Amino acid sequence: MNTITITKKDEIVMRLVHYFITEENYVPIIVNGVKDEVWLENSEAKYKIVRINSNYIHNNEQLRTDLFKIKNVMRQIKKKTVSFTMNTFNIFLDVNDEVKPLEDKHIKTVILKDGSEKETTKIIPFFPSIENKLIKDTKGIDLILNVTEGINAKTEKNNRIYEATFKPKKIIITYAIMTICTIMFLLTYALGNGSMNALTLYKFGAVSAPAIQEGEIWRLLTGTLLHAGLIHLFVNMYSLCIIGSQLENFIGKKKFLFVYIISAISGSLMSSIFSTTISVGASGAIFGLLGSMLYFGYHYRLFLGNILKAQIIPLILMNLFLGFMMSGIDNAAHLGGLIGGYLATMAVGIIGKSEKNDKLNGAIVLIIYLIFLIFVLFR
């Protein structure tokens, strides 16, 4: 019969891994070419990377080589997760007494010489809850069982959130908005002189700064349901179908509807401030959906980092550039919608990612932003 031998280093590694995963919401990441090391990632934390190294560091030269390796891995993760800054909390468990930690502004190194409670107190200034949340009393097989049970429970919870977020759902709001826009387009021909006629668009509720200032507030929304010409309608509805269906699937119907309405209003307000002519179209609201997708993608950048870099950000920049270069495009509405959608998503939050303070801050900034636009328009 085989017996399981657990060293002090093994025990402290298990205790630390259990703590960082279950209490600090870190997840394990695979780093190729490493041995006797554990790498954990939490893109929302101050220290986005926690690295636990059980290898023996016998001199300063080996330490410098080790730090070079850490920085190389940090660059890779930073690039993958579209992070501007990245700090690593580096834990050594086996270091020669003569070796002293090297100073680095992005790497905080702590040396734990053994698995005693006294040594783990060195982590308290950086992760205060470890004092009460670290498993301390159990050892051997009981420790393995406790650690495994805790990590499995946390992993199962994260998997449920991930599945609820990304599993395919029935899309309703996006298609409903597309249907309303199409009906409004047809009505401009059935009850007016067509979608290219300025007077008809005005009567149907086009965005008009003077009319809004006179009290016709509904134009902030109705104008986003109108389109000038078949090409204008087709381009916006195609964009709404692609972007809207994905975002509605990710954040849910109620949050999506809120984000869309706020984006539409924000885009119309910004358009009214910078334009004296009437404007129509859902593009401001669609830019708001892009802003929302930007916020969502950033918080799930470990999974969506490549999409964020290769699709979402280039699409936003390209469309803004075309708006500035070409006439007839309401770039003010695009910018207003983009900002409104981003802030609206901050306010409603993302399941499993947003804390109460994040949502409160998002709501406060969104309200201030909308009040500022209204003040400027009606001053």
Catalytic residue list: 283, 334
CB 21 within 8 A of CB 154: yes
Dihedral class, residue 110 (left if φ above 0, else alpha if ψ from -120 to 50, else beta): beta
What is the rounded CA–CA span in Å between residue 26 and residue 190?
A: 58
The distance between the two most distant Cα atoms of the chain, rounded to a whole number of Å, is: 90
Instruction: Give me the phi and psi of 223, to 5 degrees please.
Output: -65, -30
What is the rounded CA–CA span in Å between residue 50 and residue 41?
A: 6
Sheet containing strand 27-28, edge to edge, reads 27-28, 37-41, 49-53, 88-92, 107-111
**Would you list the DSSP string of 121-156?**
GGGTTTSTTHHHHS--S--HHHHHHHHHHHHHHHHH
Residue with tokens 């502004």: 105
**Which residues does 8 contact at the CB level (< 8 Å), separation at least 6?**
114, 115
Strand bridging mode 27-28 / 88-92: unpaired
Number of Cβ atoms within 10 Å of the Cβ of 346: 22
**Which residues does 282 contact at the CB level (< 8 Å), separation at least 6?**
177, 181, 224, 225, 227, 236, 237, 240, 264
CA 71 to chain centre: 24
Output the 3-class SS for 9-25: HHHHHHHHHHHHHHCCC
**Strand boundaries in the chain, DSSP class E:** 27-28, 37-41, 49-53, 88-92, 107-111
What is the rounded CA–CA span in Å between residue 68 and residue 108?
A: 14
What is the rounded CA–CA span in Å between residue 290 and residue 14?
A: 41
